[in-house]
Structure 1
Amino acid sequence: MNEIKDFLLQLALITILIFTYHIFFVERSKRNSTEKIIATALSGLSILLCMSFRTNVNSYVSLDIRIVPLLLGTLYIGTRTGLFLSTIIILYRLFLGIDLGFYNTILTILTAMPAFLFFQKIFVKGKKNKRIQIALILSIYYCLTGLTWSAILRGASLKVLQVQIIHLIFIVVVVWFFTSLIENIKEINLKNQQLQSEAERVRVISDLTSVFAHEIRNPMQITRGFLQLLNQPELSDKKKEYIKYSIDEIDRANAIINDLLAFGKPITTENQPIEVASELRHVENIIQTYALSSNVEIKTIYHDDCWIHANPQKLNQSLINILKNAIESMPNGGTIWLTCAPKIDGFIEISVKDQGIGMTKDQIDKLGSPFYSLKESGTGLGMMVSLQIIRNLQGRVQINSEKDVGTEFSIYLPKIS
């Protein structure tokens, strides 16, 4: 049908202008007022083009999809834009000639615009699905209003009614398409802004770490030197073990500084075959004192046939951070289960399960983000570095948690075959 071709032409014109706005203006425009002026101008141009290329049903009835830019402009830009676009429609229709169509346009605008303006504030505050529903309801209302006034002014005929029904269905589909498209574009822009913000935060971390790394390392190296001097042969084996753990922890702190300096860049480390159970026993000894002081018991189940390619120091750093978080999630004490076992899919599973406060799905999704932490004095850097270490080992992490029940970190690392 020729009417459908005309509607598709109008749709193409609107689509070009909408994409022009979102591609060339939204990202470049710095001020909100400038964006509104540009969007209003493009909406007005869309209306003029739709009315210029309208479809003629007969000698006295013509239809177009001006409702689409009018409705979207009112809902997304504001009430002033809606009134401005309504004025453009009336003035241009007046320019085309005073007839029954002109009066139909005025009556339809006067009947529909109050509803548009009323729902505009609700639309702005609503979420994606609610916005789409409001836009669809208002588009149907506008079309039915225009159809009603047309029937009152001109009477009804079967051919005109058929075209008007096609017109209504076409507009509803187009409004749904454009509203969904705009909402998706807004979500993408918001995510891009969040990514840019996080990238800026990571850059700040890198700058601050570079500034303070030298000053932090100096006292650490001095402390390490004195610990080595204290490690005399006459000391008991227990004290020698404590000194060794202290030196290892200083070395781990120095490695954390290196990780922060290299965060976001490819990390080249020399991996070697290591036995996971042995490393877990080492980590358990390091964290045991901290666990006991927090009234936390660590229960372990280790399978000895668990070999992986990894850097022992970095693997221990990641596991200690996760265990420390598990201990701190149990302010009243409890039990942590630390296990490792080979899986049939060629991976080694390391599990850290606690009886802590648990997390929501939203909190789990944000873990590893810079500056995101569930602790009042936390920075989130420990978890960020830990997850990156696991990713660099070609591993993955699965987190299962329930509020007030506990959390389980399941770490999967490729097994040496």
Structure 2
Amino acid sequence: MAEATRLERSLTFEFPLRRRGQAEHGEISLTVSPIAGAAGPGGLRGLGRSRSYVVLARDISREKQIETRMSETEKLAGIGQFAAGIAHQLNTPLGSILLSAQMLEEAEDDPDQLEDVQRIIRQTEQCRGIIKGLLNFARPSGQQKGRVMLAEVVRETIFLMEKAVRSQNVKVVLDIEDEGMIFGNRNEVEQVVFNLLANALDALPQGGTVSISIRGGETGEVEMRFSDSGDGIPDADRDRIFLPFFTTKEYGKGTGLGLSIVARIVHEHGGRIELLEGRGARFLMAFPRYRPSRHDTPARPQLALVNDLDDDDDWTDGSDPDARGG
């Protein structure tokens, strides 16, 4: 502001708007323009003379979101093409190695040699798993979108992962204020929830809590917040957490593609994802709400939930204290 008052021209400043405990919430553009030949009643301190100014404030949050989304989409598209090329080149020789190792396993009688062969098989299968992740990351969506109930997808994914949740003594707490009718592809939305929950379980080897909430956003979107009680993400890694192949896990325990696939799917659904500040890993995702007047794609059939969990289930739904499993 002081710089604008010293110059005979307009200056524009951009400021981030933040809320405590949240990532960047928005931005405003502030333009300060001196009025030629106009004198104000009191002037500004330290200027030695009185001047009048026009100050124009404009909300540019949406523009910044679009710019960021386009930049991320272009970056991910380039990485995806590169990854797909590598994956296809590696798939054939790895398949040959795996087949040969499996044949050796069947014919080998020496226990020591057999152990080496089985190690080759395990490592080759791990490489093929990485390649599968590469192809999933690189493959454009192209799948039909329609009406998807976000809360239903969350409940069913938790049900499918119930065994892993119980075995690690993890409690999943749901807070459903909005069933979240969004416009998307159900399989891909399931993949988002699955990857986030799998990451949370990896961060809670000794047990803990995973919290998932769904509610209506301020701009008509559907917001899903996902957090765990783990150690969280170091500040030095926060800017890289959605990059492909970046992982904070031990060697051999992660490909570094889970969160990048999550980010790609969210962006392809016209949504956004943010890493929030606070204890543990905390994510905010916002999806476009389904609107029949705009989204006329026929809805795909919804899968029925199976409600046969016991009273001592390790997950609760804050939207209905008496509900068991949906």
Compute the TM-score of the two structures, normalised by the length of structure 2.
0.50
Which structure has the greater CA radius of gyration? 1
Higher normalized helix content (fraction of residues):
1
Higher relative contact order (CA 8 A, sep 6+): 2
Query: TM-score if structure 1 supplies the norm length?
Result: 0.39
